[in-house]
A and B are shown apart, each in its own frame.
Chain A
Amino acid sequence: MFNLKDKKLIPFLAAVSLLIFLSISIIILRVPVLAVSRQPFSLVTFLQRELGGIVFYHHNLVANERLKKENELLRYRLNALDEVYLENTRLKENLSFKQKSAFKIIAARVIIRPADNWSSGLIIDKGSSRGIKKGLAVATFLGLAGRVVETTDSTAKVMLLCDPNLGISSLVQRSRQEGLVCGTLGANLIMKYLPEDADIKLGDTIISSGLNATYPKGLLIGKVVDIGRDFSGLSRFAVIKPAVDLSNIEEVLVIIP
């Protein structure tokens, strides 16, 4: 079946070389594909949203009522926190603390979902023309969602927290224990390199540590749902349930420092 005669060997080798060349140069080939795909996928996402609004009308009505009440409660708490913020600013000035610059946030819509089961990347409908650069943190109102890994003029590729290639320096909010949160392609994340005597327990909140300039300090990552011992027995790990539902993100916020 695979008997290659000499006269067929050269074209075969040429074909294999071409395939390898195309595989390596996919980074360049992606740009025109993404540029062309943006508008059709934006249209499909728009139709999907409108159709969902019609199909799930009653569900949306009930959710709307609940969210209105929650909104009112949050406005009340925000007003109370404004006072705390002003007092904090005043006290910092008195102690001559350096002011941190505020972050700029760009809202973007997800237009393309992960293409297969081995990747956890989304494509959003804003790109470098809006100031989005590679390496920026991406979040939602619920917490951290991922990081920008590639940009074109009008789109950006976001690697989600559940991707095994993404690692975030993080802290246990209660005890300030440090660790590295990585994705596992599953629904949960894993916090690695915890020492034997790490002060961490079920229900603890995990936040970004801010050691990496990309991720602002204090961004919510998730909650601890399980703790275990590493295969080597030398360290422990914690299973983290992410605060953001990574499989159903519709809109994201790109944080520009």
Chain B
Amino acid sequence: MKLSTLAVIALALGLFQLTFLHYFKVFGVQPDLFLVSVILASFFLPARRAIIFSLALGIFKDAFILSAFGLDILLFSLWSFLIVKITRKVSLEDNLSRTLLVFIIALLHNVISGLVLVYSGSFIPAGIFLRVVFLGGLYTALVLPLILKIIKVRIS
């Protein structure tokens, strides 16, 4: 897939996340379409381009976050690096394995983001913490096959 095509897809997903996605919240949780774009870039782009693309997406997402520290810049680059390394060793061509990978990464991403928030002194009830971590990860993972289907339909 071309970089320009992926950039347009990432921009569309980002726009959707920042404007309409709150209508599709389930138990107050929405999927992270920026993370899905990072994972798509890591699957379909060469390694260096994927990591730089993920870095740019991290900067874009952190511009709209309230915290003073750009955590997504670090995490998106890390996930992209890891996925590039994993896909060199393990074949992930089918949707099920990709969805599982997205679920694990989304879970880790939510856990790290949540722990940073908690250790910065914010009080988050345990139930809400677990809901955001697990439901957010699951919702993000379930969105990936749908996006892949739309991309395949568009490309073909």
Contacts and interface: CB of A to CB of B under 8 A. Distances in A.
Interface stretch (A22-30, A58-66, A127-135, A197-205): A22-30
Q: Which of B18, B25, B121 has the most CB of A within 10 A?
A: B18
B69 interface: yes
Nearest to B88: A1
Interface stretch (A85-93, A118-126, A209-217): A118-126
A47 B18 CA distance: 14
A253 interface: no
A180 to B, nearest CB: 11
A257 to B, nearest CB: 23
B119 interface: no
A48 interface: yes
B110 interface: yes
Interface string B59-83: 1111111111111011001000000
A117 B30 contact: yes
B66 A164 contact: no
B64 A123 contact: yes
B7 interface: no
B101 to A, nearest CB: 15
Contacts of B125: 184, 186
Interface in B69-104: 69-71, 73-74, 77, 85, 89
Interface stretch (A75-83, A98-106, A107-115, A137-145): A107-115
Nearest to B60: A33
Contacts of A22: 55, 59, 70, 73
Size category of the B interface is: 35 or more
Given A26-B69, A26-B70, A29-B63, A115 B123 contact: no
Interface of B: 15, 17-22, 25, 28-30, 32, 34, 55, 59-71, 73-74, 77, 85, 89, 110, 113-114, 117, 120-125, 128, 132, 136
A159 interface: yes
A27 to B, nearest CB: 6
Given A22-B70, A44-B15, A186-B28, A112 B64 contact: yes
B60 A26 contact: no
B108 to A, nearest CB: 14
B69 A186 contact: no
Nearest to B61: A115
Interface string A180-192: 0010111100101
A114 B33 CA distance: 13
Contacts of B73: 19, 22-23, 26
B34 to A, nearest CB: 7
A26 B63 contact: yes
B113 A118 contact: yes
